[in-house]
Amino acid sequence: MPRGRLYGAVMGTVVKVLRKRQITLPKEICDALGIEEGDLLLLEIEDGKIVARKLDPVDVLEGFLAPREPVEGLVEEIDRERRESER
């Protein structure tokens, strides 16, 4: 495969988008970033480029453990809904 500019210790590699928009991550990149089968990657668009970040399993659970929405008044709201459903 053609190789391009140097990114850290890993050379850029051209990959082909296959059917169902799949790509294969080059072994050198996976090794350099510690990406293994089953890992989760976060894909984002930044300045017109696809950026992939390896997710730590704790990051995946963050939304469940520390909700981004305020929970102030949640207990009261649940109690009110429970009382209304009992009517």
Sign of CA dihedral 34, 8, 53, 23: negative
Burial, 77: exposed, middle or buried (Cβ in 10 Å; 0-12, 13-18, 19+)? exposed
Looking up residue 66, the CATH number of its domain turns out to be 2.10.260.10
pLDDT confidence band for 6 (50 / 70 / 90): very low
* pLDDT at residue 19 is higher than 80: yes
Sign of CA dihedral 40, 36, 46, 2: negative
* pLDDT at residue 75 is higher than 90: no
- The one-letter code for the residue type at 42 is L
The share of the chain scoring above pLDDT 70, in percent, equals 70
The tally of domains found in the chain comes to: 1
Task: For the chain, give the mean pLDDT.
Answer: 79
Please enumerate, as own/partner, the contacts of 37-45 that have beta carbons within 8 Å and a separation of 24 or more.
none
Q: What would the two tokens of residue 65 be? A: 């453990």
Judged by average pLDDT, the poorest of 6-10, 14-18, 57-61 is 6-10
Q: Which range marks the domain in which residue 57 is found? A: 3-86
